[in-house]
């Protein structure tokens, strides 16, 4: 049977563009890709990249304050949101063009429109065309989830935050995960008054000691944090958005950001009709090869609800292309995936939390908490926390957690050692780099506790 394409990819985000490029450029497949919004997907257009640039913008007042403490006659002016946003838009246009060139350079045919699955070997495009493909890859990512309540139409999500006309003076952020905590810190740094409501403790699932420190520092900077609260309704008034919580309290804000998780983007995609098994939350069910129960249909990235991070989606897409179109079948590895939460203080984490590890086996806990030299000199009250969770039986470092400036950069390197199976003794045998914050990772001699 002949097909129009060897591969049709639905979704031009982190996982989709990687799979399409590798299948076409490295393995010679005839590939098409459909993207309904902007090439590059969530990470490039409305996720990691613009978010990190906003993190940088929000860290400037602190930098100026420190500069003064180090003897510079530096003054901080007002923040020009419109100027920043214009520059941000131009940068995203530049990056999108690079992604687009990457696809055309690899010989991938791009359709700038929505696509749905018409059958196990057919894709229907929004303009009515139906094209056939030997394999179909679902890489449609996720979309913000906002629960149902009266006044839901007044809130924004991370999709809208980069497009705001003006910075709100007072914002309520609902949620307590990555996005809620990152944007609470970003907006506070840019001068917005931030209130954060969540129904449960913040950053649930992360190492509790680290989480507690981050939350303490966020609160100390003036973010009003309330847990155990749910929104009952939101009404628009002359004074702003009046938000009423389940406990009866009412507060008025200029904007409300919902960051209550993301759901897989499979609504109306035609997957169930094509016989593909979906999880109750809509995620595409796949095996370790990213293959669905319909042999010609695969899925990678957030839509599979495995680990919702860009580097993971990229790896899944690459492994899929090598497996199906190359001579090197391989599975994406989901073990010991490091990540960073770009709060202030920043959090880098890899492996098991103390709480998760002690459920599995006896562990030793090593902790070093100190004031970092740079901010201590400037009179700041920042605190660094480095933590290792070590198996008593194998001596392997099962968890490494860092709360510090640039913790994301540090955890990337520690993750290499952990992935190689490094033991605590091998960390200790590594000579320190002095004076750095990271040197504490190789100089913690005595466990603070056994768990």
Ligand X SMILES: Cc1cc2nc3c(=O)[nH]c(=O)nc-3n(C[C@H](O)[C@H](O)[C@H](O)COP(=O)(O)OP(=O)(O)OC[C@H]3O[C@@H](n4cnc5c(N)ncnc54)[C@H](O)[C@@H]3O)c2cc1C
Ligand Y SMILES: NC(=O)c1ccc[n+]([C@@H]2O[C@H](COP(=O)([O-])OP(=O)(O)OC[C@H]3O[C@@H](n4cnc5c(N)ncnc54)[C@H](O)[C@@H]3O)[C@@H](O)[C@H]2O)c1
- Continuous segment of H or E residues that includes residue 252: strand 250-253
Q: Is 16 among the residues that bind ligand X (CB under 6 A)?
A: yes
**Minimum separation from the CB atom of position 230 to ligand X (A):** 22
- How far apart, in whole angstroms, are the C-alpha atoms of residue 421 and residue 431? 18
Binding mask 296-335 for ligand Y (x = CB under 6 A): ------------xx--------------------------
User: How many Cβ atoms sit within 10 Å of the Cβ of residue 254?
Assistant: 16
Using CB distances below 5 to 8 A depending on partner kind, what does residue 42 bind out of ligand X, ligand Y, none?
ligand X
Stretch that binds ligand Y, among 126-134, 164-172, 185-193, 260-268 (CB under 6 A): 260-268
Does 341 help bind ligand Y (rule: CB under 6 A)? Answer: yes
Query: For residues 298-357, which are near ligand X according to CB under 6 A?
Result: 301-303, 308-311, 313
Least separation in angstroms between CB 232 and ligand X:
26
**Is 81 within 8 Å of 391 (Cβ atoms)?**
no
Q: Are 353 and 208 in contact (CB under 8 A)?
A: yes
Structure tokens at 443: 């100089």
Choose the stretch contacting ligand X; rule: CB under 6 A; options: 110-118, 164-172, 359-367, 421-429.
110-118
**14 counts as binding ligand Y under rule CB under 6 A:** no
DSSP bridge partners of 117: 123
**Torsion sign, CA atoms 362, 213, 262, 50:** negative
Select 123 or 363, whichever has its Cβ closest to ligand X. 123
Helix (H) or strand (E) holding 48: helix 48-58
Can residue 263 be called a binding residue for ligand Y (CB under 6 A)?
no
Q: Which stretch binds ligand X (CB under 6 A): 44-52, 70-78, 246-254, 358-366?
A: 44-52
Quick check: 222 and 191 in contact, CB under 8 A? no
One of 21, 100, 211, 262 touching ligand Y (CB under 6 A) = 262
Contacts of 47 (CB under 8 A, 6+ apart): 41, 158, 310
Cα separation, 417 vs 397, whole angstroms: 9
In angstroms, what is the minimal distance from the CB of 412 to ligand X? 12
How many CB atoms are closer than 10 A to CB 163? Answer: 12
Q: Is 79 in the site for ligand X (CB under 6 A)?
A: no
Q: Considering the rule CB under 6 A, would residue 259 count as an interface residue with ligand Y? A: yes
Binding site partner of 12, from ligand Y, ligand X, none, Cβ cut-off 5-8 A by kind:
ligand X
Annotated active-site residue 434? The verdict is: yes
Return the residues of window 260-289 that contact ligand X according to CB under 6 A: 265, 269
7 part of the interface to ligand X, by CB under 6 A: no
Distances (CA, A) of 391 to 26, 368, 369, 446: 41, 18, 21, 14
Q: Where does this chain touch ligand X (CB under 6 A) — which range of 29-37, 327-335, 364-372, 437-445?
A: 29-37
- How buried is 389 (Cβ within 10 angstroms: 0-12 exposed, 13-18 middle, 19+ buried)? buried
Q: How far is the CB of 309 from ligand Y (least distance, A)?
A: 5
Name the token pair of 436: 């750095």
In the list 9, 32, 115, 319, the residue contacting ligand X (rule: CB under 6 A) is 115
Binding residue count for ligand Y, defined by CB under 6 A: 23
What are the binding residues for FAD? Answer: 52, 302
> Could you say which of 226, 233, 401, 434 is catalytic?
434
Q: How far apart are CA 212 and CA 168, in angstroms?
A: 28
Contacting residues for 93 by C-beta, under 8 A, at least 6 apart: none
What backbone torsions phi and psi does residue 249 show, to the nearest 5 degrees?
Answer: -70, 150
Provide, rounded to whole angstroms, the least separation between the CB of residue 34 and ligand Y. Answer: 23
CB 174 within 8 A of CB 275: no
Indicate which of ligand X, ligand Y, none lies near residue 10 (CB less than 5 to 8 Å, by partner kind): ligand X
**DSSP H or E run through 7:** strand 5-10
Tell whether residue 17 is a contact of ligand Y (CB under 6 A): no
Please, are residues 298 and 138 in contact by the beta-carbon 8 Å criterion? yes
Interface residues toward ligand X, by CB under 6 A = 10-16, 34-37, 41-43, 47-48, 51, 114-116, 139-141, 158, 179, 265, 269, 301-303, 308-311, 313
Interface residues toward ligand Y, by CB under 6 A = 147, 174-180, 182, 198-200, 230, 259-262, 308-309, 339-342
What amino acid positions are annotated as catalytic residues? Answer: 434
């Amino acid at each position: 049977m002949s097909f129009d394409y060897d591969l049709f990819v639905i979704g031009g985000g982190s996982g989709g563009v990687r799979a399409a490029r590798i299948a076409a450029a490295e393995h010679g497949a005839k590939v098409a890709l459909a993207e309904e919004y902007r090439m590059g997907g969530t990470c490039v257009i409305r996720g990691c990249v613009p978010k990190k640039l906003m993190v940088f913008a929000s860290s400037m007042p602190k930098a100026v304050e420190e500069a003064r403490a180090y003897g510079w006659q530096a003054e901080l002016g007002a923040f020009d949101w419109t100027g920043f946003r214009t520059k941000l838009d131009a940068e995203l246009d530049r990056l999108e063009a690079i992604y687009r060139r990457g696809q055309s350079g690899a010989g991938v045919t791009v359709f700038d429109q929505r696509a749905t699955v018409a059958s196990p070997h057919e894709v229907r495009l929004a303009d009515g065309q139906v094209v056939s493909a030997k394999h179909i890859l679902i890489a449609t990512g996720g979309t913000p989830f906002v629960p149902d309540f009266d006044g839901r139409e007044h809130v924004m999500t991370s999709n809208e935050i980069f497009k705001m006309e003006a910075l709100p003076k007072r914002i309520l952020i609902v949620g307590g995960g990555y996005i809620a905590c990152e944007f609470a810190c970003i907006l506070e740094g840019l001068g917005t008054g931030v209130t954060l409501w969540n129904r449960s403790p913040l950053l649930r699932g992360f190492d509790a000691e680290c989480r507690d420190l981050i939350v303490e520092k966020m609160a100390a900077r003036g973010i009003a944090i309330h847990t155990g609260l749910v929104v009952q309704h939101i009404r628009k008034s002359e004074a702003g958005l009046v938000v009423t919580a389940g406990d009866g309290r009412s507060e008025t804000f200029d904007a409300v950001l919902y960051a209550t998780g993301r759901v897989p983007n499979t609504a109306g995609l035609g997957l169930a009709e094509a016989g593909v098994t979906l999880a109750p939350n809509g995620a595409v069910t796949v095996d370790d090869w990213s293959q669905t129960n319909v042999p010609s249909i695969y899925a990678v990235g957030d839509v599979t609800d495995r680990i919702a991070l860009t580097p993971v989606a990229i790896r899944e897409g690459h492994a899929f292309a090598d497996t199906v179109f190359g001579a090197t079948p391989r599975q994406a590895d989901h073990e010991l995936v490091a990540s960073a939460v770009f709060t202030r203080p920043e959090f880098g984490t890899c492996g098991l939390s103390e709480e998760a590890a002690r459920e599995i086996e006896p562990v030793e806990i090593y902790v070093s908490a100190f004031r970092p030299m740079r901010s201590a000199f400037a009179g700041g009250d920042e605190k660094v926390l480095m933590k290792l969770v070590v198996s008593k039986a194998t001596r392997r470092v099962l968890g490494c957690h860092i709360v510090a400036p640039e913790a994301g950069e540090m955890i990337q390197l520690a993750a290499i050692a952990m992935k190689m199976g490094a033991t605590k003794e091998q960390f200790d045998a590594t000579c320190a780099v002095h004076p750095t914050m990271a040197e504490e990772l190789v100089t913690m001699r005595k466990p603070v506790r056994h768990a």
